[in-house]
Amino acid sequence: MSDEKQYFELGEETDTLDIVEFFNERLKGFNLITNPKFYLQANKKQKKQLIKISKIADQYQEKMGAEILVQINPTYFDDFSSSNPDYIDNLNDILFDQEIDKIEINTKNGKISIKKKSINASKGIIDKFNLDDVIRAQKIEEEVESQKEDQENS
């Protein structure tokens, strides 16, 4: 069995600093009414998506020093950053933005929630990148996962 850790804080290993910088840069494009604290975690076995955002349970927020958990598969990030001709430009941008866009902050009480999307992209993301690229980005993400599962099973 491998000694490689499945979970670790992004930025903890120097080769993941680019992911932290990329996330922070993408986050700047959103006008959140408060400045929630994020815990960026690598999940090397995360399947079916590059990035997954979830709300940290209230009882753990103080201990973790964050309200929102952001799990990123660093292998997918690197793969999607490559100049693979099968991938579209801005693939990481689209996938990060559509996930960040799920963050909802109640203007009255400041409570954070993560909304669900039926098409998995908001109008703003579709307007920014166009529907075809968003759909293609999601399909590429699914195909890569399927290929990785096939490799693991063979």
Alpha helices in the chain (DSSP H): 17-27, 58-64, 74-81, 91-100, 123-129, 131-153
Residue 90 resides in a domain: yes
Residue 46 resides in a domain: yes
**Per-residue pLDDT of the chain in tens (154 residues, 90 and over written 9):** 446 788 999 988 778 899 999 999 999 999 998 999 999 999 999 988 899 999 999 999 999 999 999 999 999 999 888 777 777 788 999 999 999 999 999 888 889 999 876 566 777 888 888 888 888 888 888 778 778 777 877 7
**Dihedral angle sign, alpha carbons of residues 112, 117, 120, 124:** negative
Domain that residue 46 falls in: 7-153
Please say whether the beta carbons of 94 and 101 come within 8 A: no
Residue 2 resides in a domain: no
Global pTM value: 0.78
Q: How many domains does the chain have?
A: 1
Residue 1 resides in a domain: no
**Rounded to whole angstroms, what are the CA distances from 15 to 19, 56, 75, 84, 148?**
8, 26, 11, 21, 22
Q: How many CB atoms lie within 10 A of CB 111?
A: 13
DSSP type of residue 108: T
| Closest among 15, 28, 14, 10 to 69, alpha carbons compared | 10
